[in-house]
A and B are shown apart, each in its own frame.
Chain A
Amino acid sequence: MGTVLVVEDDRALSEQLQGHIRALGHEVLCWTVGHRIDPDMPPNVDLVVLDLMLPERTGFQLLEDLRACSDVPVLVLSARDGSEDKVRALRLGADDYLTKPFWPEELMERVKARLRRPVLSRQHRVEVGDLAVDLERRLVWIDGEPIHLTPAEYGILAALLRRPGTAVTRRWLAANVLDPDREGSERTLDAHMSRLRRKLGKGMVETVWGVGYRLGGERVS
């Protein structure tokens, strides 16, 4: 598993954060003040959980330092209401933010999502549980065995892969993946989905009550 740097000045909250992240199986480094980051030696971590209001160097300055030398994902913790702060953090290169107060589960879900998503954006080959997809060559494997998908089935799978764990609406899939002149209805989507499920195996594609589909279940978590 990875290493997560937690930068939080509130001691009680910092300890809780460390506990939750360790519970996910990651190693944790902890800063309680904003340190200057040496561009030649960026922290060797997989994710940074960063509070914005810090003594010494603010979260914004730290983010700037970090982005000058590293593209490690950064999850900002914000207790501020100001949209400006959130927007500024995102512009400075933060990947996501979490507004206080939050539940431990919420934090853990965001940490998991952040550690998973950059892999999708940077690589042509994506692995989600038993499923492996080569996005460049449009090839799909299940448990190492290549399987053949029609263009519509591949389009549906590629759409679901962009946000694993999050459902894509039926309306969007019907309008954007299927050919609207020939088969662009939600009814034909059911037929494609049913064939895709058969090919991928049970539990890979979940139906979300009445609205869409997602890559989900135990096989991808």
Chain B
Amino acid sequence: MKIRARIGVVAALVTVPQLIGLSWWDSTSRHRAAENVLSSMLEVAYSQPGARDACLADPKRWAETLVPARRPPAGRPAPPPGHTEGRRPPPPPGRVGEPPELRAHGSRQAVALRTGVVDLGDRVVGRAAPVSTTLWSPEVVVALPTGWGGDCDLLTVRGTTVPGFLGSVLPATPLWVGPLLILSTVMWLAVGPPVRRLRRLTQAVRLGEHRLAMGGDDEIAELSRAFQDAATSLGEEVALREAREASLRDFVANTAHDVRIPLTVLQGYLAELESTVDRPALQHALREVHYLGALVDDLAAHARMDAAQPHRELDLADAVERVAARHRPLARRKGVDLQHALPAESVTVSGDVTLVEQALSNLVYNAIHHHRPGGNVVLTLDVEDGRFEAAVRDDGPGVDPHELHRLTERGFRGAAARGRDDRGSGLGLAIVARVAERHGWSFEIANHEGGGVLARLRGPLS
């Protein structure tokens, strides 16, 4: 529940019982006061000398001599002479400016109230006592059994608790209701600005705004300053980490660049030696130097992957051709036949050409590296329905099915790679998977039903 609604509910829960309680107390006090006044009035009338005779002689007139005559309601004609009070319905109580109504009754058995008929059979003679009425009714009736008999056996006086009535005794307005209502309203209004500030702060945090601190010295301002401090420290930490990563990336890229030139020269010398020296050690050296080159490429690609690079249009057919040409010398030395096949037209896709070539290189390198002499590796590129498929397939022993799903984990090397003198960084296929992910392409690697491994990269043409 939102703070404002919660405060509203709490205010209502506190205020409403108080209002009810105070209303009850007010109503009770009014009734008691009215009853006391009316009782005194009745007892004074009863105890006047000659009251009994005067009443028995003419009960109606006797009552009117004690209390001023009731005026007819404004705009209504006065009742005609001879109209008796008994047939007239009881006037609505509480009319401002009207006197209490004193009446003499012939029987004390019962008195008609607006709320019903009340039995008065066991009342004490000569003592005025209230006739019970409900608290929410403003009508107050007090009765006094006289024991005079005739039409004066019971005297009643009817009054009201409504302010302004002659017989009412309480203040004219319930003043206590005002402060309560004002308090509730003030609470409601006072909560508004802090809640608005909280909302603003929440929005600023959610939008990642740099300026979070708010003016003022309340708890919300303190909270905003705490957020500001946390954001500043987090920003500094992130900036520091980014700077470190950028520096590491630069270091790897520069090192890779520096290592590549001597590696090229070394490959050249070894290839030259190959034509004159026929020693297994030289073949090992050649493979190692190729592996070193692949490792440097993997490291550089890995570092490059973390830095956002813009994608540009590139011809995938050219990339496949370059990758095939790059690995043909290794394949020849390993005794593996590497072939590639392309569509006869350009295959334009959007991507980072270095990463795309690295991904394809890793697939081809793996296929050659884990193959036996005399084997075949084919790199193909095909286009169908606006999508390309670059596939590397070999006719080697395939991969243990239990290891297939782990091949793209960084650092994972299959049993075939671990068992022999082959070495690998375990980065190769992880890089392929990440390159595919960054380009929004799919990458699958599986054992082919015809034998060997089939690795496929698929994505849309640009």
Contact = CB atoms under 8 A, between A and B. Distances in A.
Interface of A: 10, 12-13, 16, 19-20, 79-83, 86-87, 96-106, 109-110, 113, 159-160, 162-163, 166-169, 171-173, 175-176, 208-212, 214
Interface string B320-335: 0110111011101000
A66 B257 CA distance: 26
Contacts of B321: 163, 166
A100 B301 contact: no
Interface string B254-298: 001100110111111101100000000000000001100100110
Given A79-B261, A103-B329, A209-B337, A172 B354 contact: no
B81 to A, nearest CB: 117
20 contacts: A10-B261, A13-B261, A13-B265, A79-B261, A79-B264, A81-B300, A81-B354, A83-B354, A86-B353, A86-B354, A99-B326, A100-B261, A104-B267, A105-B328, A109-B325, A166-B341, A171-B384, A208-B378, A210-B378, A214-B341
Contacts of B268: 13, 16, 20, 104
A211 B354 CA distance: 26
B253 A81 contact: yes
A169 B341 contact: yes
B300 A101 contact: no
Contacts of A212: 341, 380
Secondary structure class of chain B's binding surface, majority of residues: helix
Contacts of B304: 81
Given A102-B267, A105-B328, A105-B329, A162 B344 contact: yes
Contact of B265 (A10, A83, A162): A10
A157 B343 CA distance: 13
Contacts of B393: 210
A100 B264 contact: yes
B376 interface: yes
- The 7 closest A-B CB pairs, nearest first, are A103-B329, A167-B341, A212-B341, A159-B344, A101-B263, A16-B268, A101-B264
A209 B376 contact: yes
Contact of A106 (B269, B325, B383): B325
A81 B264 contact: no
Nearest to B353: A83
B352 interface: yes
A171 B337 contact: no
B326 A102 contact: yes
Given A13-B265, A86-B353, A104 B271 contact: yes
